[in-house]
Chains A and B, each alone.
Chain A
Amino acid sequence: MWGIVGQRACRHGSSAMSLQGTRPVIHALRSFSTAAKEMTVRDALNSAIDEEMSADPKVFLMGEEVGEYQGAYKITKGLLEKYGPDRVLDTPITEAGFTGIGVGAAYHGLKPIVEFMTFNFSMQAIDHIINSAAKSNYMSAGQISVPIVFRGPNGAAAGVGAQHSQCYASWYASCPGLKVLAPYSSEDARGLMKAAIRDPDPVVFLENELLYGESFPVSAEVLDSSFCLPIGKAKIEREGKDVTITAFSKMVGYALKAAEILSKEGISAEVINLRSIRPLDRATINNSVRKTNRLVTVEEGFPQHGIGAEICASVVEDSFEYLDAAIERIAGADVPMPYAANLERLAVPQVEDIVRAAKRTCYRSSSLAATA
């Protein structure tokens, strides 16, 4: 087991094994000196779910092809073999039915992880997510809590067309009673999944199919089974001083690439990985904008009433005097997702869109013409 020196604060660490003091510090330092390990987001999610299922027998997994098929995207690979058919359940293709069953099980004290093969199919079950899960703790004055996680890939993939490409972040994030998380890196995936499973409230966990295969370095701390990330806290992925760029999920990678391009042109961009869409870390966002005075919001979903719209409102409400330029929104195109590759490329934000918007906030156009 890896030694860890510190431990992130997490809710109710009944399963959190403190390793402080069980190993000499020297051993921990030696562990840190080994080469950084890399882990795919897929493995990060798999290991997080595995560890939480191991730690808490009330946690179980339900969804289409999660068991024998090893998961449509192999996120739940090996879990049926390890935990058996009582805890890893293959469901028929009936989202409304099995989501309702999951919420009911959560009412009675179990901790379901319900998988949607993509969040597009969650629309068949949205009544249960909103009316049966999100609102129950409130309506029952605290009697009926719903410790459930709804997870699956969200947003665009590659060439899957209009009915399979929608981002549901803003739909779910507008609903009080839900928590909505969106990991980017493997560290995010592990830490946020563990936090979601341990959380006593319904959590919508928005993954991204195109990120599953991406590898990220993970520290020893991240690999520890007690690792957890706080819900409601964004992460500053890259510090900067000229413009703030907010993003979540796959767009964080794009924002980081944009920041790299901008830095070569003398613009220092601060990239915020939201991690948590609801609760939204307004403090981190506003503090950043108060520092940089400029903001570009980036999201994959439809622009109207999107995540960027809420962030804009928050900054205008709380940090208006600090803005030196109008806020820019980069979002998915305001059309159903087309299939043709060239049209799809126009419908999803690209790195150059983020660069262009950031420059506009700095009153720099993309052309080379210099103005005094």
Chain B
Amino acid sequence: MALSHLSSTRSNRFLRPLAAAAAAAAASSLCRPISTSTEPLVIETSIPFTPHKCEPPSRSVETNPQELLTFFRDMATMRRMEIAADSLYKAKLIRGFCHLYDGQEAVCVGMEASINKKDCIITAYRDHCTFLGRGGTLLEIFSELMGRQGGCSKGKGGSMHFYKKESGFYGGHGIVGAQVPLGCGLAFAQKYNKDENVTFALYGDGAANQGQLFEALNISALWDLPIILVCENNHYGMGTAEWRAAKSPSYYKRGDYVPGLKVDGMDVLAVKQACKFAKEHVLKNGPIILEMDTYRYHGHSMSDPGSTYRTRDEISGVRQERDPIERVRKLVLGHDLATEKELKDIEKEIRKEVDEAIAKAKESPMPEPSELFTNVYVKGFGTESFGADRKELRATLP
């Protein structure tokens, strides 16, 4: 059954059943190949949803073995990618800022499971995994992080500035909070075009207090825009705990007149259910806020050890009790959808994929010097632009 579905294009890697693993499993003469069944499976979320001014969706989430195994693979890939980025940063191959998402994988993976590529996602600077979920490749990611031509922004953006417009991913923003009004703008355009699609604007607990968020939310509510505000509450805005930054850290209620839902952001099925619910809601009723209760294992960025404002016990406690990948592993094993060895083989495969992508990215050349002057404008009217010494380096903008 599994083997007959063997085919995958590179870009659909993450959506395809685990063809290679299945082949390996069959080859090593295990009696049952890893499950790729699409028979529905109903699983309860870890905890019920907490609503604000709305009826919460059911705790029972419809999924299937194939989807669960895809969740496992996707999140494990993201996890491995971020850990590899940590090493590359320490080796000084990545420069500047590097904000890692490990621990929060369930949010972007669960979201992708409930939407399509015509729906839009916009986020801040912790964007590597969100970009991957939108169809980005490991090669594009590592190339961009190392400032090479093969990067998704041709090496000109860096870690905080990944984009994939054709799959509805609008970045990748460095200024805290700015992405929220921008996301409302995406939703405005979707409604204007009568698209029947929605936008998810992701922000953190630190950004949740930004005034511009409330300004844009007010307008979105007045104009019934199909916008879902998603607060990825990892409980720390850089080094400041949520209770020190917010008088009310109940971010799902902060929309006041805008309904909200609090979700266990470490439970990929809960995230999927909430996003499905939210998409249906906003197309009929205007904005909604989803608060994802999640956690980042790394510090705010690679310059932050992450241990001066929280205890190591807290970090290891979350890893032990709530890790999103471990939750799915337990579900898969508990429902007998794969063996421990098969899952470990998947992880080995992922490790190899990530290593290969890094090796290939290292071969990508640095951008041509002429790229300094490209993309300043779409239409430059032949104006001149200059380098540091205007008589030595200049260019005419097309």
**Chain A residues within 8 Å of B, Cβ to Cβ:** 64-65, 68-70, 72, 90, 92-94, 96-97, 120-121, 123-124, 157-164, 303, 328-336, 338-343, 346-350, 353, 356-357, 360
Contacts and interface: CB of A to CB of B under 8 A. Distances in A.
Contact of A303 (B148, B245, B367, B390): B390
24 contacts: A64-B238, A69-B238, A70-B308, A92-B209, A92-B245, A92-B246, A93-B207, A93-B238, A93-B245, A120-B175, A159-B95, A159-B147, A161-B161, A162-B157, A162-B174, A164-B174, A333-B393, A334-B376, A338-B367, A339-B147, A339-B155, A339-B156, A341-B95, A347-B372
Interface of B is mostly: loop
Dominant SS among interface residues on chain A: loop
Interface in B172-186: 173-177
Interface in B365-398: 366-367, 369, 371-373, 376, 385-393
A162 B155 CA distance: 12
Contacts of B385: 333-335
Contacts of B257: none
Of A161, A163, A360, chain B has the most CB atoms within 10 Å of the CB of A161
B280 to A, nearest CB: 32
Contact of A343 (B238, B371, B389, B390): B371
A360 B391 contact: yes
A164 B386 CA distance: 20
Interface string B341-376: 000000000000000000000000011010111001
Nearest to A160: B96
A94 B209 contact: yes
Contacts of B147: 159, 339-343
A144 B206 CA distance: 33
Contacts of A347: 372, 387-388
B176 A342 contact: no
A156 to B, nearest CB: 10
Interface string B147-171: 1100001011111110000000000
Given A93-B177, A93-B207, A94-B209, A338 B390 contact: no
B97 interface: yes
Contacts of B206: 92-93
Contacts of A343: 147, 155-156, 366-367, 369, 371-372
Given A347-B387, A349-B388, A357-B389, A338 B371 contact: yes
Given A90-B244, A161-B161, A356 B392 contact: yes
Contact of B389 (A69, A96, A353): A353
Nearest to A360: B391
Contacts of B161: 161-163, 339
A123 B212 CA distance: 13
B156 A338 contact: yes
Contacts of A97: 209, 211
A91 B209 CA distance: 11
Interface of B: 95-97, 147-148, 153, 155-161, 173-177, 206-207, 209-212, 237-240, 244-246, 308-309, 366-367, 369, 371-373, 376, 385-393
B309 A69 contact: yes
Given A93-B237, A339-B147, A340-B155, 8 more contacts: A68-B309, A72-B238, A94-B210, A157-B96, A161-B160, A163-B160, A341-B95, A348-B388
Given A92-B209, A93-B209, A357-B389, A163 B240 contact: no
B240 A161 contact: no
B102 to A, nearest CB: 22
A64 B237 CA distance: 10
Contact of B372 (A163, A335, A357): A335
B175 A342 contact: no
Contacts of A360: 391
Contacts of A123: 175
Nearest to B210: A94
Contact of A329 (B96, B176, B390): B390
B214 to A, nearest CB: 11
Contacts of A332: 388
A92 B389 contact: no
Given A90-B244, A163-B160, A339-B157, A346 B176 contact: no
A65 B238 contact: yes
A322 to B, nearest CB: 22
Given A92-B237, A340-B367, A356 B389 contact: yes
A340 B389 contact: no
Which 9 residue pairs of A and B lie closest in terms of their CB atoms, listed nearest first?
A: A159-B95, A159-B96, A339-B158, A340-B147, A163-B174, A340-B155, A69-B239, A92-B245, A353-B389
Contacts of A350: 388
A258 to B, nearest CB: 12
A227 to B, nearest CB: 32
A338 B96 contact: no
Contacts of A340: 147-148, 155-156, 366-367, 371
Contacts of B209: 92-94, 97
A69 B206 CA distance: 15
A97 B207 CA distance: 13
Contact of A69 (B177, B308, B386): B308
B97 A160 contact: yes
A135 to B, nearest CB: 22
A65 B245 CA distance: 11
Contacts of B175: 120-121, 123-124, 163
Given A94-B209, A338-B372, A339-B147, A68 B239 contact: yes
A91 to B, nearest CB: 8
A158 B97 CA distance: 9
A160 B95 CA distance: 7
Contacts of A69: 238-240, 308-309
Nearest to A347: B372
A336 B372 contact: no
A257 to B, nearest CB: 15
Contacts of A120: 174-175
Nearest to A352: B389
A157 B157 CA distance: 15
Nearest to A338: B156
B356 to A, nearest CB: 22
A196 B109 CA distance: 50
Contact of B158 (A161, A331, A346): A161
A342 B366 contact: yes
Contacts of A335: 372-373, 376, 385
A333 B147 CA distance: 18
Nearest to A331: B388
B282 to A, nearest CB: 26
